Amino acid sequence: MKKLNRVVVTGTGAITSVGQNSQDFWESCLKGKSGISLIEKNDLQLVGPKYGGQILDFDASQFVKVNDYKKIGRGSNLLIASIYDAIKNANLDSDTYEKADLFVGTTMGEISIETTDYNRYMGISSSENLLDQSFLYTVLANACREFSLQGESMLIANACSAGNYAIIEGYERIRKGEQSICFTAGEDPFSTIAYYGFNRLKAIAASKCKPFDKNRDGMLVAEGAGCLVLEELEHAKARGANILAEVTGYGVSCDAYHITAPHPESAGVIQAMEKAIAKANIELEDIDYISAHGTGTPANDKAESFAVNNLFKKKVPMSSIKSMIGHSMGAASLLEAIVCCNAVNQNIAPPTINFETVDENCEVDCIPNEARQFNIEYAMNNSYAFGGANSSVIFKKFRDN
């Protein structure tokens, strides 16, 4: 039987409302900084909720070098910026990264499709440029053009779990010896469709996202992009890369229960975590920290708390950065993966901010309001999507043995 390769993380990139590079993003998370602000978006009529996680000062001209930033969509610009940040942090040269695979998770792809579909409905002709940006695959095409990528590319439109699924694709490619280096990324621009859709579900908070708090009243729509550079261990060592963490396992499942509501007994969520632990060849008690999905909606937080408490024999520290940046859809679990990598590397976990009142239905250790320093050998990244698409990815502190 062929020996499976070890897969390590050698670079991270992030564009968020609390930091436009991975380092600033991480430091802001540790400080509990909020990136939530009043929503500013052309052609968006606020119907009640007024707050979201927008990147208000993002200047694409400072990041995009090959594409025309004015002609490609905001999602592409965010994605490209996060990949440049990851390349810089991984200290990659073009001869190395041009051979990489690219796996991108997203929910909306580009927001240009919103205007295009409206124009079609109204019988208005759309510009050629707008039509070019009205399909999901354009974010992938623009990123491949920007970096002259020659490897395999794949877009994963698996909603809120998409970032984790992108990591899983890259992990398997390297683990099986089919590739030595991959970019795994997630992106989503602030979406009018998401805003109206979650509002119709009565799932948006009035002003603050308060995961696991008794008085939580919903999520906040956000945007962002994140990227991990995954490498085969020997490939990374050969070029003298700085290794941030190791990916050791994952688990996925589908509830097949309801299009939006979580399974009442969290069966699929528990199954995803169990599969990840088995694949990582560790025990339940080895998990030291969980980056929670933690959307702040009553149903999601209750289901996730139930799953964690029923699976683990101890209260595992867990926190939700959605309390700070909102829910960035396809980028969410990728950004949370960056949190896991830094957590195992630095033995510190960010807080869940806005926490005030304990909920008897969410009796978890959510690291309330202040970051916590403790030994973190293994971190689990949990992410769940509409339709019951559950995913868990496990990151380990890197040890060269």
pLDDT, residue 260, reads: 60
Look at 264 and 8; give whichever has higher pLDDT: 8
Q: Which two tokens stand for residue 294?
A: 């933690």
pTM listed for this prediction: 0.93
- Asked whether the predicted pLDDT for residue 134 surpasses 60, the reply is no
- Asked whether the predicted pLDDT for residue 124 surpasses 80, the reply is no
Judge whether 7-238 and 247-396 match in fold: yes
Sequence spans of domains, the chain = 7-238, 247-396
How far is the C-alpha of 174 from the C-alpha of 312, rounded, in Å? 30
pLDDT, residue 3, reads: 82
- Asked whether the predicted pLDDT for residue 118 surpasses 50, the reply is no
- CATH code of domain 7-238: 3.40.47.10
pLDDT tens for each residue of 223-278: 999 999 999 999 999 999 999 999 999 999 887 766 666 666 667 889 999 999 99
Which active-site residues does the annotation give?
160, 293, 327
Lowest mean pLDDT among 47-51, 78-82, 181-185, 211-215: 47-51
185-211 mean pLDDT = 94
109-119 mean pLDDT = 60
Residue with tokens 């030291």: 288
How far is the C-alpha of 393 from the C-alpha of 229, rounded, in Å? 15
Angle among Cα 221, 190, 350 to the nearest 5 degrees reads 55
pLDDT tens for each residue of 11-46: 999 999 999 999 999 999 999 999 999 999 877 788
pLDDT, residue 135, reads: 61
C-alpha distances (whole Å) from 193 to each of 114, 188, 204, 345, 380 are 7, 12, 13, 37, 30
pLDDT, residue 393, reads: 98
Sign of CA dihedral 87, 394, 76, 210: negative
Instruction: Give the residue among 8, 77, 18, 26 at the shortest CA–CA distance from 395.
Output: 8
pLDDT tens for each residue of 275-309: 999 999 999 999 999 999 999 999 999 999 999 99
Beta strand spans in 352-388 (E): 372-373, 378-385
Superfamily of domain 247-396: Thiolase/Chalcone synthase (3.40.47.10)
Lowest mean pLDDT among 16-30, 78-92, 156-170: 156-170
